[in-house]
Homo-oligomer: A and B are copies of this chain.
Amino acid sequence: MHRSFFYRLSILLAFWFGMAMPIAQAEDGYDTWLRYPPVAEQKLLKAYQKQLAQIVVEGESPTMAAAKAELQRGLSGLLAKPIASGESKLSKHALVIGTPANSPLIASLNLTNRLAALGSEGYLLESTRINKREVIIIAANSDVGVLYGSFHFLRLLQTQQSLDKLSIASAPKLQHRVVNHWDNLNRLVERGYAGLSLWDWGTLPEHKSQRYKDYARINASLGINGTVINNVNSDPRVLSDQFLQKIAGLADAFRPYGIKLYLSINYNSPRAFGDLDTADPLDPRVQQWWKERTEKVYQYIPDFGGYLVKANSEGQPGPQDYKRNHADGANMLAAALKPYGGVVFWRAFVYSPDIGDRFRGSYDEFKPLDGKFADNVILQVKNGPIDFQPREPYSPLFSAMEKTNMMMEFQVTQEYFGFATHLAYQGPLFEESLRTETYAKGEGSTIGNILQGKTFNSKRTGMAAVINPGTDRNWTGHPFVQSSWYAFGRMAWDHDISAEAAAEEWLRMTFSNDKKFIDPVKNMMMASREAGVNYRSPLGLTHLYSQGDHYGPAPWTANLERPDWTAIYYHRAEKDGIGFDRTKTGSNAIAQYPSVLAKQYGDLSAVPEDLMLWFHHVSWDHKMKSGRTLWDELVHKYYEGVDQVRSMQREWDKLEGYIDAERFGQVKALLIVQERDAVIWRDSCVLYFQTFSGKAISAGYEKPKHDLEYYKALARTRYVPEPWHPASSSRVLK
C-alpha cells in the first residue's frame, strides 16, 4: 500500500504527542484476530526480537508470497521493529520458511520422513540449525502448508508463547474445512445480520475489493480450505456464464490462500436455463447437461471445489420430484465432477411434511441409502436432528451411516441465538457436539472421531459452518460472532481443541493479552451459550420462536401451514406436563440411536436433564436432581438465563479502558438489548407455560414485568428484524 512520507509523519507525530490520529477507527473490528500490535510483555518482546532477525523465503508462488507478506506484516508489528526479508543469505536468528521442493535450505534438513506424516497441509515449526546458525523453520510439503504454519507461528507471538526450543508438528484431522455462505445473488444474506453479501457482483470481476483478500486471510489463518459462496436456496443463475465470469474473479482472489471455491446449485438448473423440461438425474440428457455445465465451470475455475446441494428440502427441487432418491441425485452430479476431482456436499437437512416427527425425517430418508453414494459424495449433516437449536441431541445419522462419507454442518451465524445482537459464543456447542460419545462402535465413537473417519473408516472427511460475514465493517455484526468463526475454524483443523482454549486464543489475538481482561471475558463467553439456552428453551425444550423471524419468543404459535413450523408442536405443554415423547410410547425416534444411548435417552431417570424434554413428556411435578419439581426447575432455568446475561453486563462494564472505546461501547450497548430480550423470553415462556402447569412462580424471583397478554401483543407488534437483517421491522407499530 502506497503511503506518502508526510502521511506517515502525521501518524508519527500524532502518536508521539498522544493526539487523536487522523485515521478513522483503526479498532473497528475489521482486523479480526489478525491484529499485530507490539507484544506488550517487555521481556518477551525482547526475546522475540532477539530470536527473529530475518525472514528467509526461497520459494516463489502466490501462496509463498502471501505467507511472506503476512509474516512481514505480523512480525514488524509484533516485534515493533522492521524485519528484513531476503532470499537465502542466511544470518543468525533467521526464520526460514519453505518446502523441500522450493527451498534448498529446508531441503538440506532432510525432513522428508517427518513431513510425510503431516500430509499435504501439515507443517513443522521448529528451532534448529542451518549451516550452524540458529534458525526457526516453518516447513511443509506444500506452499499452503507453509502458509498455515506461518499463521500458527504468528499466533504464538500474538498469544505470547515462548519460542524457545520450538517443536510443533501439526496437520489437519479433517480434509474439507469449509465455510458456507447463505448469500443470495441480490446480495441479501439469509440469516446473516451483518450487512450485504461481501460479493459485489456489480463490480466483479473488474474490481477486486481488498475485502476479498482479507476474507481469504482470515479463513486461511484458521486452515479453512473451502468456501461455498452462495445460499443453499440457490438461484440457478449462479451457473450462468455471466456469473461464472464474476465468480472466477473471486476464486482468483482466494486461490493464493489455499481456499477452494464451491457453489450451491439449484437442482432444477437444466429446466431453469430453458434447456430441458426435466431435471431427472437418471435421464441421459440431464446427465449430459450437468457434464457440459460442469466442464464450463472448470473452464472458468480450474481448481473449482464442487457443488453443495439442498435438494427436496423446504421446497427446493430435487431428485424426488422425479421419483429418484438422494443417492441417484447426488451420484449424477458426482459423475459430472469426478473427472476434475470435484466433490458433492449433499445436505441431509430434509423433513417431509407427512412424517409424524420431524426429528425422524433425516434418518428415515437417508439410512436406507447408506452405502449407495459415490465416493466423491459427502453427506453434510447438521449437528442436531432439527435445525441449529440452542441445544440439540446429536443427529442420529452420525452413528448410523457406516458406509457413507459424512461431514458436520455447524452454524456460526446466530439464526437461533439472537442474530448479531446477542453475545453467544458457539464454541461450547461445537465442543459438546464433537465430544458426544455415540457408542456406534463402542467407546471412543465420538462425533469428532466419526467425522475424522476413525470410527467407520470413511475416506472423505470434513466440517462446514454457516458463517455470516457481510459488509458490516467488523464482518459479523456483533464483535463476538467472530469468536465462533474462530472456534469453528480451529476445531475443523483439530476437533480436540477445546472451546475454552479457542476462546482464550481469540481474546488474546482480538483484544488483549491482559489477564484482567481475558479471564472475566472468557468466563462470559463460556457461559454465554448456556445462558442463551436457559432464557430461551432449557431442559430440552426447543423451537419456541416466532415463526419466520427466529428471534423473539412465541411459544403459543399454533395453526400454521405445517404443524412442525409451530411452537406447540415442539413443546407439547399440557395440563399434565410438557415435552415431546420420542420413546417407544411416542414417536420412538430414540430407536435411531445406538442401543446404549437409546436406553439412556429412553429412561426418564437416566436421560441428561438438559435433553429431557427432547425425549419425554414429563409431569410438572416430576422431581429433578436439584430436588425441585420440573415446573420449579423450568422457572429456575429461565431466571438463571436472565441472571447470566446481567452478570455478563456487570462484568463487561467493569472492563472499560482495557480495550478501545469503540468495540467496548458496541458490546456494552448490545448487552443492554440482550438483557431486555432475555427478560422478554423468560417472561413470555414462564407465563405461557404457567397457563398449563397452573403453578406459582416461587417467591424470591422477581415478578414478570408484564402479563402474558402484553407479551403476546408484543410478539405481534414488536420491532422484529427482517429474516435477512436485524435492521428493520416487519410489522406496523405505534
A1 proximal to B (CB < 8 A): yes
Instruction: Please pick, from B17, B729, B734, the residue contacting A241 in the complex, using a CB distance under 8 A.
Output: B734
For the complex, what is the distance from the CA of A196 to the CA of B28, rounded to whole Å? 18
Q: Which residues of B contact A31 (CB under 8 A)?
A: 22-24
Give the contacts of A438-492 with B (CB-CB under 8 A). 471-473
Check A236/B13 contact, CB under 8 A, given A25-B210, A666-B207: no
A8-33 vs B, CB cutoff 8 Å, 1 = contact: the mask equals 11111111111111111111101100
Q: Which residues of B contact A241 (CB under 8 A)?
A: 733-734
Instruction: Please pick, from B13, B273, B471, B657, the residue contacting A76 in the complex, using a CB distance under 8 A.
Output: B13
Contact A202 B26 (CB under 8 A): no
Contact B725 A38 (CB under 8 A): no
Check A81/B4 contact, CB under 8 A, given A72-B20, A472-B471, A727-B200: no
For the complex, what is the distance from the CA of A3 to the CA of B241, rounded to whole Å? 48
- Each complex incorporates copies of this chain amounting to 2
Contact A9 B80 (CB under 8 A): yes
Instruction: Please pick, from B28, B81, B187, B657, the residue contacting A210 in the complex, using a CB distance under 8 A.
Output: B28
Contact B37 A22 (CB under 8 A): yes
Stretch binding the partner chain, chosen from A112-120, A595-603, A616-624, A668-676: A668-676
Contact A10 B673 (CB under 8 A): no
Q: Which residues of B contact A734 (CB under 8 A)?
A: 240-242, 273
Q: Which residues of B contact A201 (CB under 8 A)?
A: 719, 727-729
Q: How many residues of A contact B (CB 8 A)?
A: 102
For the complex, what is the distance from the CA of A15 to the CA of B7, rounded to whole Å? 9
Contact A210 B2 (CB under 8 A): no
A694 proximal to B (CB < 8 A): no
Check A14/B196 contact, CB under 8 A, given A25-B210, A35-B22, A728-B187: no
Q: Which residues of B contact A39 (CB under 8 A)?
A: 6
Q: Which residues of B contact A657 (CB under 8 A)?
A: 2
Contact A82 B207 (CB under 8 A): no
Instruction: Please pick, from B40, B81, B185, B272, the residue contacting A728 in the complex, using a CB distance under 8 A.
Output: B185
Contact A36 B10 (CB under 8 A): yes
Q: What is the distance, in angstroms, from A516's C-beta to the closest C-beta of chain B?
A: 13
A699 proximal to B (CB < 8 A): no
For the complex, what is the distance from the CA of A311 to the CA of B216, rounded to whole Å? 48
Give the contacts of A683-734 with B (CB-CB under 8 A). 718-719, 721-722, 725-729, 732-734
Q: Which residues of B contact A27 (CB under 8 A)?
A: 1, 3, 7
Check A20/B73 contact, CB under 8 A, given A37-B10, A471-B472, A733-B241: yes
A317 proximal to B (CB < 8 A): no
Besides A6-B39, A22-B77, 8 new A-B residue pairs in contact (Cβ under 8 A), listed by A number: A4-B37, A4-B40, A11-B12, A11-B15, A14-B76, A196-B725, A202-B420, A203-B673
What are 16 A-B contacts defined by CB distance under 8 Å? A3-B21, A6-B38, A10-B37, A14-B82, A19-B73, A19-B83, A20-B73, A186-B727, A186-B728, A193-B202, A195-B471, A197-B727, A201-B729, A202-B420, A202-B727, A273-B732
- Report the 4 A-B pairs with minimum CB-CB distance, sorted nearest first: A17-B82, A186-B728, A202-B726, A207-B669
